[in-house]
Amino acid sequence: MAHSGDVYRDKVDFLLDKYNLPKEETAYPGQHYPLSEEMSEADMRLKQNYRQVLAYLYKQKKYDDIMELYWEGLSYFDKNRFADFVRGLEEQGVLNNSLLVIVGDHGELWDDDNQGHNKGNGKNALSEALIRVPLIIWQKDFKGNLKIEKQIRSIDIVPTILSILEIENKKFDGANLTDYHSISDSLPAFSQFWQTDSALVTIFMNQVKAQGQFSEPEFSSRLTGASIRQAGFSLLDYYPEKGRAQSVFLKDNQPIKNPDDFCDELEVLRRRLDEYNEKTNNKYGGNKRIVKDSDREEIARQLRAIGYNV
């Protein structure tokens, strides 16, 4: 079987030819993974060219083509990398006395407002496509396999794991998913979308790398969006830096045409979401540092060199 690196390189070459894009031969040291080991020039060129393909497809609004590449990559990883990882755990006997927990960190969405999962103007950043992720909890010889169709939350994971391991624990905000009948759609699920000046993040990460140790960031993020999902209803708020906040009210993930028909439900969601936002804003909000225009432009130049639309 071909090495995964060879498969990746062949795929990028194929895409460049398919879309008639020039192959970049110069490697630009960028800001991809400031805390990781240095990338080779060959790897930098490879990543730059793949970014170039994505930038082209996004500019042409070929969102389905980008998602097809995304799913293709996931499928390849599942069959060729993750399968080997699990097989290795089995061969070493690790799974005989372990609990395996698999959870996605984010979804993926490409449209006029979003570029994957971490870029765009933030609109629709709290949609189902981005925040609904798989959760699998597996234990060898565990009896009572269960597929949960109800809404569950990240805060439900810890109490569930402790229950499976029969570890006594204090009361958590989350629910124990092994007790299926205690899982209720009336439990609220909160999500927030925070943004930080990318220039500040880049400067901070480079400082950490240069110092060789982590230090407390000297900047804060801005709450850009928040949502609450409860009992089949969803309220999604988006807070642009300028202008009025925008809200979307959904029932079973479909826009409600006449919100006046659900005044009571909307009032409850609004009150709870505002209370949650106030608590987190008080904890994480704050003033921003100011980045010099010269520093910002230099960072933008480096990001553009590796395919970002900045």
Mean pLDDT by 10 residues, the chain (310 residues): 74 95 81 55 88 94 95 92 93 92 91 82 82 90 79 91 85 84 84 81 75 71 90 92 87 91 94 91 58 62 58
What pLDDT, on a 0 to 100 scale, did the predictor assign at position 292?
A: 59
Q: Report how far residue 234's alpha carbon sits from residue 126's, in angstroms, rounded to the nearest whole number.
A: 10
- Joined together, the tokens standing for residue 50 give 């793949």
Q: Report how far residue 239's alpha carbon sits from residue 236's, in angstroms, rounded to the nearest whole number.
A: 10
262, 249 Cβ separation under 8 angstroms: yes
- Phi first, then psi: what are they for 62, rounded to 5°? -90, 65
What pLDDT, on a 0 to 100 scale, did the predictor assign at position 1?
A: 41
Q: Can you give the three-state secondary structure of the chain, one letter per residue?
A: CCCHHHHHHHHHHHHHHHCCCCCCCCCCCCCCCCCCCCCCHHHHHHHHHHHHHHHHHHHCCCHHHHHHHHHHHHHHHHHHHHHHHHHHHHHCCHHHHCEEEEECCCCCEECCCEEECCCECCCCCCCHHHHCCCEEEEECCCCCCCCCCCCCCHHHHHHHHHHHCCCCCCCCCCCCCCCHHHCCCCCCEEEEEEECCHHHHHHHHHHHHHHCCCCCCCCCCEEEEEEEEECCEEEEEECCCCCCCEEEEEECCEECCCHHHHHHHHHHHHHHHHHHHHHHHHHHCCCCCCCCHHHHHHHHHHHHHCCCCC
CB atoms within 10 A of CB 193: 22
Q: What is the dihedral of CA 159, 164, 169, 172, to 10 degrees?
A: 10
What pLDDT, on a 0 to 100 scale, did the predictor assign at position 153?
A: 92
pTM value? Answer: 0.77
From the list 285, 292, 121, 115, the residue with the least C-alpha distance to 203 is 292
Helix axes 41-59, 4-18, angle to 10 degrees: 40
